[in-house]
């Protein structure tokens, strides 16, 4: 079982937080969330591959015990297609956003349990935060506005999978909830 975590350039990470965090702080926040997502995936027994072309992703991957699949500079849909092609023979694949600061191993276990053949964790705005497919060919990536409806599958609604961190309000809530982590 494989988890694919798309990660755009850490230099561009969390750009919508540019009014409240400088580039170094956004970079650190992105790595903090990535670490949490990787830990949750590994706790659920998933082998993790980060999909990115950022050289910093290779360093983070080595430190986190993961591998990197080069995204070829593609957008989210294209980079996930690349990851799926690499792991087409896997029994199950999970594609999960790198910015889910509340995700827990139990959230991934629930997503995996519902993947017959497809389970989805939608975001509040109708996009896709995570998806599990058994087999991987059951998933055809089509990210962007309304992607959760396009992707389909059994909805898995869990706070750790639903709550991402994109806005200054999300950041304030996260800092109040997880001040020392």
For the domain that residue 91 is a member of, what is the CATH number? Answer: 3.90.550.10
Whole-prediction pTM value? 0.92
| Cβ 112 vs Cβ 20: under 8 Å | no
Helices (H), the chain: 23-43, 55-64, 76-86, 105-113, 147-151, 159-162, 168-177
Q: Quote the domain boundaries for residue 155.
A: 2-177
52-56 contacts at long range (C-beta below 8 A, 24 or more positions apart): 52/6, 52/7, 52/8, 52/9, 52/79, 53/9, 54/7, 54/8, 54/9, 54/10, 54/11, 56/9, 56/10, 56/27
Closest CA to 30 of 42, 41, 21, 19: 21
pLDDT of residue 181: 45
pLDDT of residue 13: 74
Quickly tell me which residue has 């964790």 as its tokens.
121
Give the pLDDT band of residue 83 (cuts 50, 70, 90).
very high
Q: How many structural domains are present in the chain? A: 1
Residue 135 CA from chain centroid, whole number? 19
| Cβ 46 vs Cβ 32: under 8 Å | no
What pLDDT digit, counting tens, does each position of 38-60 carry?
Answer: 999 999 999 999 999 999 888 98
What pLDDT digit, counting tens, does each position of 91-129 carry?
Answer: 999 999 999 999 999 999 999 999 999 999 999 888 999
């Amino acid at each position: 079982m494989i988890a694919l975590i798309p990660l755009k350039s850490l230099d561009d990470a969390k750009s919508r937080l540019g009014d409240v965090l400088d580039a170094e702080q956004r970079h650190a926040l992105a790595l903090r969330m990535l670490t949490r997502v990787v830990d949750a995936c590994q706790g659920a027994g998933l082998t993790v591959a980060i999909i990115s072309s950022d050289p910093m992703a290779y360093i983070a991957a080595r430190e986190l015990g993961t591998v990197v699949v080069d995204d070829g500079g593609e957008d989210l849909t294209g980079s996930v297609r690349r990851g799926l092609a690499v792991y087409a023979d896997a029994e199950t694949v999970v594609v999960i956003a790198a910015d889910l600061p509340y995700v827990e191993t139990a959230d991934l276990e629930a997503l995996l349990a519902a993947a017959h053949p497809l389970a989805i964790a939608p975001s509040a705005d109708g996009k896709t935060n995570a998806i599990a497919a058994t087999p991987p060919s059951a998933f055809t990536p089509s990210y962007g506005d309304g992607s959760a409806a396009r992707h389909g599958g059994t909805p898995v609604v869990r706070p750790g999978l639903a709550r991402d961190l994109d806005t200054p309000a999300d950041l304030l809530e996260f800092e109040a909830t997880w001040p020392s982590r």
